[in-house]
Amino acid sequence: MNELRIIKKIEILWLRMAPGRASYGNPGAEGIGATARNHNSEMINVLIQGLGVTTSYIAENYAIANALNGAVEKG
């Protein structure tokens, strides 16, 4: 599994995330997707990733963590 790490500290005035997941069973084949937008509604990051076989709880948490991580990387 991926390890969550701090890449750089940034000041975020406003961040809107829309994480989600899709599955075939629980547990089952899971995939995640997320978008992150800034305070001007400009797209910061888009995430699409297959996770393999896992639970819906783990997939939803991966979507949130990876969307935040991607937003930090993109600034």
The answer to whether position 33 is within a domain reads: yes
Q: Which domain holds residue 45?
A: 16-74
| pTM (global) more than 0.85 | no
Residue 4 resides in a domain: no
User: At residue 26, what is the residue type?
Assistant: N
Our count of domains for the chain comes to 1
Q: Do 34 and 19 form a contact (C-beta atoms < 8 A)?
A: yes
pLDDT 10s per residue in the chain (75 long)? Answer: 566 666 565 555 567 777 778 888 888 898 888 888 878 888 878 888 888 998 888 888 888 888 888 777 776
- Termini Cα distance of the chain: 24
CB of 56 closer than 8 Å to CB of 21 = yes
Q: Say if 59 falls within a structural domain.
A: yes
Query: The CATH number of the domain where 25 resides is what?
Result: 3.30.420.10
- Whether residue 8 lies inside any domain: the answer is no
